A and B are shown apart, each in its own frame.
Chain A
Amino acid sequence: MLRIENLEKRYQTGDLALNSVNLEVPKGQVMALIGPSGAGKSTLIRCVNRLVEPTAGKVFLGDIELAHLGASDLRRARSRMGMIFQEYALVERLSVMENVLSGRLGYVGFWRSFLRKFPQSDIDEAFNLLTRVGLDHMANKRADELSGGQRQRVGICRALIQNPDLLLVDEPTASLDPKTSRQIMRLICELCEERQLAAIINIHDVLLAQMFARRIVGLQLGNIVYDGPPEGLSPEVLTQIYGEEDWEATIEAAKDLDEDEAEAELVEAVDNVITKPGSTT
Chain B
Amino acid sequence: MPTQKIAGSRIWHRRTTAKQFAVWLGWLTGIAIFVYCWRLISEKTIWFFVTDAPKQAVDMAERMVPPKWSYMEVLWAPIWDTINIATLGTMIAIVIAVPVAFCAARNTTPSVHFVRPAALFIIVSSRSINSLIWALMLVTLIGPGILAGVIAIGLRSIGFCAKLLYEAIEEIDHSQVEAVIATGATRSQQLSFGIVPQIMPAFAGISVFRWDINIRESTVLGLVGAGGIGLQLDSSISTLAWTQVSLILLVILATVIVSEWVSAKIRHAII
Contacts and interface: CB of A to CB of B under 8 A. Distances in A.
A123 B14 contact: no
Interface string A86-129: 00000000010110000000000000000010101001101100
Nearest to B8: A124
A122 B23 CA distance: 25
Contacts of A97: 3, 12
Interface in A122-181: 123-124, 126-127, 139-140
Contact of B13 (A116, A124, A126, A127): A116
B11 interface: yes
A140 B2 CA distance: 8
Interface string B1-32: 11100000111111000000000000000000
A116 B11 CA distance: 12
B3 A120 contact: no
B6 to A, nearest CB: 10
Nearest to B16: A140
Given A140-B1, A140-B2, A120 B11 contact: yes
Contacts of A139: 3, 12
What size tier do the contact residues of chain A reach?
A: 10 to 19
Interface string A25-69: 000000000000000000000000000000000000000000000
Contacts of B2: 140
Main secondary structure on chain B at its contact with chain A?
strand
A127 B6 CA distance: 14
B8 to A, nearest CB: 10
Contacts of B9: 120, 123-124
B3 A140 contact: yes
Nearest to B13: A116
B14 A116 contact: yes
B19 to A, nearest CB: 11
Contacts of A120: 9, 11
Nearest to A128: B10
B71 to A, nearest CB: 48
A207 B11 CA distance: 42
A123 B14 CA distance: 12
A127 B5 CA distance: 12
B108 to A, nearest CB: 33
Contacts of A140: 1-3
A123 B1 contact: no
Nearest to B3: A139
Contact of B11 (A95, A98, A123): A123
A239 to B, nearest CB: 45
A124 B3 contact: no
B23 to A, nearest CB: 12
Nearest to A94: B14
A124 B10 contact: yes
Nearest to A122: B12
Nearest to A98: B14
B218 to A, nearest CB: 41
A98 B3 CA distance: 12
A139 to B, nearest CB: 6
A137 to B, nearest CB: 10
Contacts of B10: 123-124, 127
Contacts of A118: 12
A126 B11 CA distance: 11
Contacts of B3: 97, 139-140
A126 B172 CA distance: 45
A139 B12 CA distance: 9
Nearest to B2: A140
Nearest to B14: A116
Contacts of A98: 14
A95 B10 CA distance: 17
Interface of A: 95, 97-98, 116, 118, 120, 123-124, 126-127, 139-140
14 contacts: A95-B14, A97-B12, A98-B14, A116-B13, A120-B11, A123-B11, A123-B12, A124-B9, A126-B12, A127-B10, A127-B12, A139-B3, A139-B12, A140-B3
Interface of B: 1-3, 9-14
Given A98-B14, A139-B12, 15 more contacts: A95-B14, A97-B12, A116-B13, A118-B12, A120-B9, A120-B11, A123-B9, A123-B10, A123-B11, A123-B12, A124-B10, A126-B12, A127-B10, A139-B3, A140-B3
The 6 closest A-B pairs by CB, nearest first: A116-B14, A123-B12, A127-B10, A124-B9, A140-B2, A97-B12
